[in-house]
A and B are shown apart, each in its own frame.
Chain A
């Protein structure tokens, strides 16, 4: 049984698709773009960045792209506070608490962004330790962030379990040697399995997770 659980933040604790698909529909409508499922999956899924906007709206100025991204981000936070954490996450946190396990966060988000994501999900103050990206150091998909978490916990890779929803995140945890659970909130099961996850689940209610952890 694991001695600690290590969580990615965005998309692992909340449902990325449920937030970002309706969000892109809303924020791209004023620009005359109709976001279909196909367009979303092909160009927008798993990325909220300049590249995504440039792909869809190649004629926008830098300033307009910034404005659009800010609007996307604001509305994404509002949506995620309405949607809440992924089903079963609160139960998993309670089960971890009952066992006295560290629940760590390993994220590429800055401390400020992480706080703004956790607060509306009602998950502020739950995780410790938290590994944020360090200036000049490798971030995911490199193994370093997970290695730093293990160092902090004083545990070896096979003593913990990681939760990741993205290919780059899964690669990071797997490279660190950590048994990893893939959450399919934004990526296909095949992609996550290819990245090396041990098991794929859609949310934390799936009893296969508790079998995997060896918990009653």
Chain B
């Protein structure tokens, strides 16, 4: 009774559906160490988490040609995909998604991750073929924090922003969904709840076992 009747729920992938930092971190260590950059937890959070590969490589290795940059992050992603089989969905995710589907609410995936990674991660989470739509930033003209990926999702579903609800775990992801006008829930898997609130979410949950999320969809 207290939920707004959302027509669609849109999910970020990395950090929102599954904790992928613990896989991304060692892959960045692997490709950056030979170039003299030591990546630890703090460095990762500050300079890498939530950003696009192109931005990361441009900032950290400024002298490289585009082609060299691309070969670095392609090597990094290939290594990530090998590790992806070990991924687990965030606690409560699969139950929550089942309730969402049972209520006839459409679902979408909106991600900066490369398509090949999405193809590796979704089966590991047992979510291949689950989402009604998938929007890849690489297929849109801009990456999050630009609102373009979320605008594209709304366009595909032919819905207004207030009919949608977004789930994001990073400040740049929240900036994207909020700029698209979509009410957003923060998943505090990697960041402090208050940091997500300041970025513009209206509610924060630790993971998908939080009863607040069920209340949102009237479950």
Query: Are A and B genuine complex partners?
Result: yes
Q: Of B4, B194, B198, B211, which contacts A124 at CB under 8 A? A: B211
**CB-CB < 8 A to A99: which residues of B?**
162, 183
Q: A100-B182, A124-B215 are in contact. Are A151 and B2 (CB under 8 A)?
A: no
- Closest residue of chain B to A95 (Cβ to Cβ) is B4
**CB-CB < 8 A to B197: which residues of A?**
102, 129, 152-154
Interface centre among B2, B184, B194, B210 (most CB of A within 10 A): B2
Q: What is the total number of residues of chain A having a CB less than 8 Å from a CB of chain B?
A: 22
Q: A129-B197, A154-B198 are in contact. Are A98 and B4 (CB under 8 A)?
A: yes
**CB-CB < 8 A to A128: which residues of B?**
202-204, 212
Interface centre among B183, B197, B216 (most CB of A within 10 A): B197
> A208 near B: Cβ within 8 Å?
no
Q: CA–CA, A122 to B215, complex, Å?
A: 9
- Closest residue of chain A to B205 (Cβ to Cβ) is A128
Q: Is the CB of B183 within 8 A of A126?
A: no
**CB-CB < 8 A to B178: which residues of A?**
100
> A209 near B: Cβ within 8 Å?
no
Q: Is the CB of B214 within 8 A of A125?
A: yes
Q: Is the CB of B193 within 8 A of A129?
A: yes
Q: Is the CB of A100 within 8 A of B2?
A: no
**CB-CB < 8 A to B210: which residues of A?**
125
Mask for B2-15, Cβ within 8 A of A = 1, else 0?
Answer: 11100000000000
Q: Is the CB of A122 within 8 A of B1?
A: yes
Q: CA–CA, A90 to B4, complex, Å?
A: 10
- Closest residue of chain A to B184 (Cβ to Cβ) is A100
> A93 near B: Cβ within 8 Å?
yes
- Closest residue of chain B to A152 (Cβ to Cβ) is B194
Q: CA–CA, A90 to B218, complex, Å?
A: 13
Q: Is the CB of B198 within 8 A of A125?
A: no
Interface size class of B (residues with CB under 8 A): 20 to 34
Task: Give the shortest distance, in Å, between A178 (CB) and chain B (any CB).
Answer: 17
Q: Of B193, B201, B215, which contacts A126 at CB under 8 A? A: B215
> A69 near B: Cβ within 8 Å?
no
> A60 near B: Cβ within 8 Å?
no
Q: CA–CA, A165 to B154, complex, Å?
A: 40
> A193 near B: Cβ within 8 Å?
no
Task: Give the shortest distance, in Å, between B204 (CB) and chain A (any CB).
Answer: 6
**CB-CB < 8 A to B183: which residues of A?**
97-100
Q: Is the CB of A90 within 8 A of B1?
A: yes
Task: Give the shortest distance, in Å, between A120 (CB) and chain B (any CB).
Answer: 13
- Closest residue of chain B to A97 (Cβ to Cβ) is B4
Q: Is the CB of A102 within 8 A of B1?
A: no
Mask for B165-205, Cβ within 8 A of A = 1, else 0?
Answer: 00000000000001001111000000001100110011110
Q: Is the CB of A125 within 8 A of B194?
A: no
**CB-CB < 8 A to A152: which residues of B?**
193-194, 197
The residues of A with any CB-CB pair to B shorter than 8 Å are 4, 90, 93-94, 97-103, 122-126, 128-129, 151-154
The residues of B with any CB-CB pair to A shorter than 8 Å are 1-4, 162, 178, 181-184, 193-194, 197-198, 201-204, 210-216
A-B contact pairs, 27 of them (CB 8 A): A4-B202, A90-B2, A93-B2, A97-B4, A97-B183, A97-B202, A97-B216, A98-B162, A100-B182, A100-B183, A100-B184, A100-B202, A102-B201, A102-B203, A123-B2, A125-B211, A126-B212, A126-B215, A128-B202, A128-B204, A128-B212, A129-B193, A129-B204, A151-B194, A152-B193, A152-B197, A153-B194
* Contacts A100-B183, A126-B212 supplied; 17 other A-B pairs, CB < 8 Å: A4-B202, A94-B2, A97-B202, A98-B4, A98-B162, A98-B183, A99-B183, A100-B184, A103-B202, A122-B1, A124-B215, A125-B2, A125-B211, A128-B203, A129-B204, A154-B194, A154-B198
